[in-house]
Structure formats: C-alpha cells, structure tokens
Amino acid sequence: MHWLLLLGCLWLLAVPLASSIFQRPTGSPAPPRLQYLLEPLHATVHTQRGATATLPCVLRTLPHNYRVKWSKVEPANYRESIIIITNGLYHKNYGPLSPRVRLRHSHRYDASLTITNVALEDEGRYRCQLVNGLEDESVSLMLHLEGVVFPYQPSNGRYKFNYHEAKRACEQQDSRLATYQQLYKAWTEGLDWCNAGWILDGTVHYPIINSREPCGGRLLLPGVRTYGARDKQKDRFDAFCFTSALQGSQVYFIRGHLNFKEAGQACRNHGAAIAKVGQLYSAWKFSQLDRCDGGWLADGSVRYPITTPRERCGGLPDPGVRSFGFPSKELRTYGTYCFVGK
C-alpha cells in the first residue's frame, strides 16, 4: 500500500510539471491576427519576363486616415525601396519601377500591385503595409521568375571581375547577378562549378555537386561553398548570372563558316541580332534548344546548347551549354546563334 501511495504522490507532482512543458510560456503570445489585411492565399506569385503580374493585397475594412505603402526589399543592400503609396483615393509612384506599376483597384478594398512588362530585376520580396497609426500591419509576398543561373568569365581568363564589373558583365549578356536563393536552387538542380563568383549581395560563392581536390578537397561535403562578403572594388572573381525566358523571343542557329564579324552580319540579314550568352542559356533551358554546332555569340565566345547528351557532342554526361572559349575572331570555323525578340 505504501508504495502505491508514494506512486500516486509522484504522479500528482508530475502532472503540473508535464503540463507546464507543453503550455505556451508566459510572455510569448501568439502572433497577432491581421485585423485589416487579408492573408494572401499564396505567398509566392510566379511569372515570366515580359508578362504582367499582380501581387495581391486586399483590405477587410477601410480604417480612418489610412495609407497603403508598397515596397520592395533590395537584396543588394537589404533596404526597402518604396514603390507606391495610396490613401484609397490618390496614389503616388516612386523609384525605377514607377512607369511599370499601378494599383489594380478592382474594388474599393483592393490595394493589389500590378507590374507590367516584368523584368529580371523585379524578382524578389515585396511588402504591402497598411499604415494606420499604432495599428500598422503588413503582408509579404515573393515575385518569382523561372530562370537559369550560369557562370560567366571574360575572354582574358578567370577571376578578372570586381563586383561592379561582374554586375555590368551579366547585364551585357541579357542577365543580372544571381541572388543567393537563385544560386542555391541552381545547385540543387545540378550546377557544379569550381570557380568562385560574385552574386548580387556582394558575397562570393561556388556550387559543388562532386567534391574533388581542386575544388576544396574530396573531404568537404557537396554544397554552395562561400568566401563571404568581399571588397567590391579590390577583390576579383568570376560572376554568377541569372536570366529568364522572354515571352515571344527565339534563338536559332545559322550554319556556315563565319568569322565573328560575318556572324553578326548573318543575323542582321535575317532581321535578328547575334545572341547574347544569357539568351542562349534561356533558349537551352526553356525552349530545349539542342545543337551540336558551335556558334558565335555577342561577347565573342563560341558555345553550343545540349539538352540530350551524346558521345559526339562533347561526350559529357549532363545537359548544358558547352563552350569553346574565346577563339580568334578571324577564324572561319563556326556558325552563329541569332536572337529575335518581340
């Protein structure tokens, strides 16, 4: 009997102890429910370059003397840039997005943001904030472009770009510096590259699928290796660029034995322009362009896109855009890849 009484006492002591483990600690309230803004059904809006995209922001009710402010979080400096402010009757646009944004305003509770002719730099996180004195609240949404990340270096070899030069180089190839999220996603999809490159926030990384000696050693696990933040003026690396499909565009090949100048003229004769590196990557990724023929591109490099790997087309086991580097522009050995936009 004594041991049963002792066991009962221990159980009574244990009940409040166990229940306290699973209770919410005092001083840690649940996050407040939105009072004025509706929670969006989907936190990510998927779109394509050149399309029109709408980021939803809808009010439950209209408080007195309120404003709605749309802003974008810039990954290069982690600051928010104001895009548009409205009080329900009037609005004002701000910043470089100004000519391409408007409020959808399909009803009086609708403060959704519409972006026309979506560009590469539009991808990222947006915030719709209701400003109402002490009761401010906001919703956050992600605008996502399906795209492809590719490593890029100039004709004079690897590790020649400071940050600003890398940024310019990507833009010249119809792309932009990739974000970390874009580079990480590309790594999960198979991007394996041993040379370190700048990304948009000023940090330097390289993605490794197959651990090997020249790329940090065999003992390091696969992953996106990092050099961290570097001096944007002095330090020099390659670049990781991001591009996306452009609606209504096409990349095609013209066969021939052309030097670089003749390649550009051949495209112009067809009402096109010689393709940029980003445009070829986009056609490979989204249009499944597959050719075993090396062709000139606008930067003076010679490349060819392979979606179905085969022995006679480089012999590599994985799909990709293969490169012959930057041969002499006087060589009459290759055809050319041309680009036609909208």
- Given a cut of 90, whether residue 63 has pLDDT beyond it is no
**Domain stop point among 244, 266, 301:** 244
DSSP class of residue 110?
B
**Does residue 95 belong to any structural domain of this protein?**
yes
Gap between the Cα atoms of 338 and 254, Å rounded: 7
Per the domain annotation, does 312 fall within a domain?
A: yes
Residue 111, Cβ neighbours under 10 Å: how many?
A: 25
Task: Say if residue 141 is in the same domain as residue 155.
Answer: no
**pLDDT range class, residue 327, cuts 50, 70, 90:** very high
Average pLDDT over residues 103-115: 95
**Number of separate domains in the chain:** 3
Question: Which of 214, 244, 274 corresponds to the end of one domain?
Answer: 244
- Kindly give the pairing relationship between strand 137-145 and strand 44-47: parallel
Q: Which of 202, 220, 244 is the last residue of a domain?
A: 244
Task: Report d(CA 51, CA 330) in Å as an integer.
Answer: 40
- pLDDT, tens digit, for every residue of 140-177? 999 999 999 999 999 999 999 999 999 999 999 999 99
On whether the CB atoms of residues 141 and 55 are closer than 8 A, the answer is yes
Q: What is the strand order of the sheet 44-47 is part of?
A: 44-47, 137-145, 124-131, 67-74, 79-86, 91-93
Structure confidence by residue, pLDDT tens digits, 225-284: 999 999 999 999 999 999 998 888 999 999 999 999 999 999 999 999 999 999 999 999
269 and 224 inside one domain: no
Q: pTM of this prediction? A: 0.83
Model confidence at 220, pLDDT cuts 50, 70, 90, reads confident
User: Do residues 118 and 53 make contact, with C-beta atoms less than 8 angstroms apart?
Assistant: yes
- Is 20 within a domain? no
First and final CA of the chain: distance in angstroms?
Answer: 90
Query: Whose CA is closest to 138, among 31, 45, 47?
Result: 31
Evaluated on CA atoms 57, 61, 62, 67, the torsion sign reads negative
Phi, psi for 188 (deg, rounded to 5): -65, -25
Residues 77 and 100: their CA atoms lie apart, in Å, by 23
Is 61 found in the same domain as 155?
Answer: no
* Residue numbers of the domain that contains 301: 250-340
Number of helices (H) and strands (E), helices first, in the chain? 5, 21
Question: Tokens at residue 219, please?
Answer: 């003992």
User: What's the rounded Cα separation, in Å, for the pair 96 and 145?
Assistant: 19
Clarify whether residues 255 and 297 are in a common domain. yes
Closest CA relative to residue 242, chosen from 162, 159, 174: 174
pLDDT score of 19 more than 50: no
